[in-house]
Chain A
Amino acid sequence: MKRLSRGLRTLADCAPIANAKAPDRRMRTAVSRAKRTEDFAAQQSFDRAVAKLVQATPVSTEIQEWFANERMAEGAKRSWKKTALHPAILAIGIALVVIAVVAWITFDEQMHAFPGTATAKKLLNVAAMTRPSEFEPMETEAGTLNDLFFMKYRLEHYDVPPEFSQQRTIGVRVFDDDEAGQVAQISLAEKRMQLFLFPARRDSRSGKPEEFEGWRYIEQEGWTGAVQARKGVLFMAAVRGPKKDLAPYLTTKPQLR
């Protein structure tokens, strides 16, 4: 084995007696190179003969009895229940469930989002924070306010949909919002409901208002809004409570979120 490098010779000295047992590539390489030498052939013959003699060593009955239950110390196989309840597996499982739920919620929100969702949610917060004294008193039917918005504020198509046009108002105000633009906010006598009219978001390429069909619900901190787009203006009816409080007012069924 003089032609072998020191490292390979070191490995070849421990070469498995049965070639099939080489545990790794380094050993296989060492054995492969060593086979080209005469010394290694002599080593293997020697080792096989000694191993054969070892195998032929008689084992007394007494010692055989020690190993009658050779597998008695083998670890018990874990059941799937025990594996599942292992803290690490449990933690990974919970983490995966949380990730799946968050992913589903995000996906669901994306599926039901409409142009102007963010603005509508912001206006729900405005509805929650607006005091009655901030409104200009106005007792009339909501459907008649479009003239006021156009004549006084030059707001075109700020029309209250027929579903809410018969409702009695108690106050009105118009304000500028950084994101929403000019917003008309109407306070109703019934259920302390509030109506909002604000410009629809415009497409950055075409400049056209982004619209959608029918009613869409949104929810924010205990408030529910039903939103509709028409002629470049978004209308939102907001009420403090669940969706069912708004549903009776809507003649066309909104897409449920």
Chain B
Amino acid sequence: MTGEASKAQDIFQDTLREAAFLVANREPPADRYWFFREARWRCLDVVAQGVQPEHATNESTELSPKAPEQIEQLEPEQLAIWISAAPEPQRSALALYYLDEFNYREMMSMLGLKLTDLSRAIASGRREFQAWLNTTVPAAASE
């Protein structure tokens, strides 16, 4: 989310330090999602202070049955770059969703989103990614 490992490390350590401080004050984090919420807000704070990406209106298209084959041709870094360029809260929603470790309630809790907003962010993310795939891996996209 930050685009720099050193910034991410600082945020990680700050988050742990905050958790340790809360534990020392006998107010430990209520659940493990606290760490994700806290780290995400810190990331957003850091990103807001840096250079902002230019947000263009992304193309979107219906999902293709060939999408799995297109995706197989991608490098993981390409996906990471695409997701990190998405606007918030879509970026966080897609990142959490595709980690495949949280259910929708947990994601709503961590992101502070309503179900309709979370659903919209994920659904539009899929269509936009499909449009990007069709441009990036056009050969596989041809039906």
Which residues on A are within 8 Å of B, measured CB to CB?
Answer: 9-11, 13-14, 16-18, 21-24, 27, 39, 42-43, 45-58, 60, 62-63, 66, 72-73, 75
Q: Please name 6 further chain A to chain B contacts, defined as beta carbons within 8 Å, in addition to the given A9-B119, A23-B105, A53-B79, sorted by A numbering.
A: A14-B115, A46-B63, A49-B72, A50-B98, A54-B98, A57-B77
27 A-B pairs in the complex with CB atoms less than 8 angstroms apart? A10-B119, A11-B104, A11-B115, A13-B120, A14-B118, A14-B119, A17-B97, A17-B98, A22-B103, A27-B103, A27-B104, A42-B67, A45-B67, A46-B68, A46-B126, A47-B97, A49-B68, A49-B72, A50-B129, A53-B76, A53-B79, A54-B79, A54-B99, A58-B76, A63-B8, A72-B16, A73-B35
Interface flag for B74 (CB, 8 Å): yes
User: What residue in chain A is nearest B129 (Cβ atoms)?
Assistant: A50
The distance in angstroms between the C-alpha atoms of A23 and B115, with both chains bound, is 14
The total number of A-B Cβ pairs within 8 Å is: 99
Name A's interface SS.
helix
Interface flag for B5 (CB, 8 Å): yes
Contacts of B126 in A (CB 8 A): 43, 46-47
- On whether the beta carbons of A23 and B67 are closer than 8 Å, the reply is no
- On whether the beta carbons of A45 and B68 are closer than 8 Å, the reply is yes
The distance in angstroms between the C-alpha atoms of A27 and B105, with both chains bound, is 10
Interface flag for B100 (CB, 8 Å): yes
Min CB distance A222 to B, Å, is 50
The distance in angstroms between the C-alpha atoms of A115 and B116, with both chains bound, is 73
Min CB distance A71 to B, Å, is 10
Min CB distance B93 to A, Å, is 9
The distance in angstroms between the C-alpha atoms of A209 and B123, with both chains bound, is 87
Interface flag for B1 (CB, 8 Å): no
The distance in angstroms between the C-alpha atoms of A51 and B97, with both chains bound, is 9
Contacts of B64 in A (CB 8 A): 42
Contacts of B68 in A (CB 8 A): 45-46, 48-49
Of the candidates B79, B104, B106, the one having the most CB atoms from chain A within 10 angstroms of its own CB is B104
User: What residue in chain B is nearest A66 (Cβ atoms)?
Assistant: B12
Which of A10, A24, A49 is B67 in contact with, Cβ under 8 Å? A49
Which of A22, A47, A72, A73 is B98 in contact with, Cβ under 8 Å? A47
